[in-house]
Structure 1
């Protein structure tokens, strides 16, 4: 997928260094992720590799520079949840507000539909009062894309000396049939779709 010289493609472990450089400021400067320590390059490569065994992990790239990335993962991890997936997205600090998030999520939704996933769920840190570490921008972004808050956990995350809430947001991608089609793991989907995945 391509738009205005921005190409959306599947990530590889070779992208880990650029992706980790995007992620690290979210760990060290924000409560967007509740992770305290930036993972090692090897650990980050392993995360990418593990995700790609079953789910899409995609990047937005322009002239070889990765501007952001998004991926889905198991929602809870039991077999009955196969048709639901958790979404995550991270954009380069200097590249926010130019439509990359919408582009990445649009591609992720199409891939998820092709996998027969019906529910996308986002787990989002939520401040009682906005501060320098966490605003409500992520919730607003997801709401703009059709997600709705379906649950809120109070003061469940502690970072930078502050207790933060967490909300779950959900988007339904289609009707829920009496008997859903089986999930297609991402590697099989890529084989069927060729360059589109």
Structure 2
């Protein structure tokens, strides 16, 4: 049951399991445009760097990690501070269980608390679905309220095939003339996380 799934902040000691989840996306799909699976040390570094500013959550049941999601800088210029890019990967045997929706809902709540206004997802998109890439990710995001914001044609080459890339966008807060500054994830009140349903460790 989805209610049995716990969300918590990722730790560096989760890296081996998270990398295990990520590996098939690199090796067997065009969902990730990476060609090589990162090393364990590199992956640990990614977790550490993400958590300096952004949420990085894992979903687990009975101590088993089922998937993870995090945000990152959108573009990386100061003017884009109130926007974040979403990323999610689930254990390939644990899909269609509501885990993705639960992770995204929690991340969205955290982003609102951080004073983020816009969420973006960068998604590989096939002209015709094949064994490496389907349109499932775009459909998942559309179900969660994301809309198509842009499409880049035949810009990703993997497995000898060209794939499109799309950006999808969700506006989660109003755009004021003088928005409150973005609160880095480590500086959020831990009570906020508990209210959202996320354990801090």
Q: What TM-score does the superposition give when structure 2 sets the normalisation length? A: 0.94
1:14-65 CA-to-partner distances (Å, cap 9, x unmatched) read 1000100000000000000000000000000000000000000000011110
How large is the Cα RMSD of the aligned pairs?
A: 1.3
Task: Count residues with an aligned counterpart.
Answer: 196
Question: 1:30 — aligned with what?
Answer: 29
Q: Which residue of 2 is the match for residue 169 of structure 1?
A: 168
Q: Which runs of 5+ in 1 are unaligned?
A: none
Per chain length, whose mean CA-contact separation is higher, i.e. which structure has more relative contact order (CA < 8 Å, sep 6+)?
2
TM-score by length of 1: 0.96
| Residue pair 2:126, 2:134 contacting (<8 A) in 1 also | yes
State how far apart, in whole Å, the 1-side matches of 2:191 and 2:57 are. Answer: 17
Residue 71 (structure 2) aligns with: 72
Change (3 A) 1:183 1:192: farther
1:63 and 2:100 matched: no
Alpha-carbon distance in structure 2 between the residues aligned to 1:150 and 1:99: 25
* 1:151–1:139 distance in 2 versus 1, CA, 3 Å: same
Q: Which residue of 1 aligns with 2:108?
A: 109
Q: State how far apart, in whole Å, the 2-side matches of 1:110 and 1:129 are.
A: 34
Q: CA deviation at 1:195?
A: 4.3
Partner Cα distance (1:95, 1:192) in 2: 29
**Cα separation, 1, equivalents of 2:134 and 2:158:** 14
Equivalence for 2:143: 144
Q: Deviation per CA, 1:155-194, whole angstroms, max 9, x where unpaired?
A: 1000001000000000000111111000000000155636
Aligned to 1:84: 83
CA contact under 8 A between 2:155 and 2:164: conserved in structure 1?
A: yes
Q: Name segments (4+ residues, structure 1) moved above 3 Å.
A: 190-197
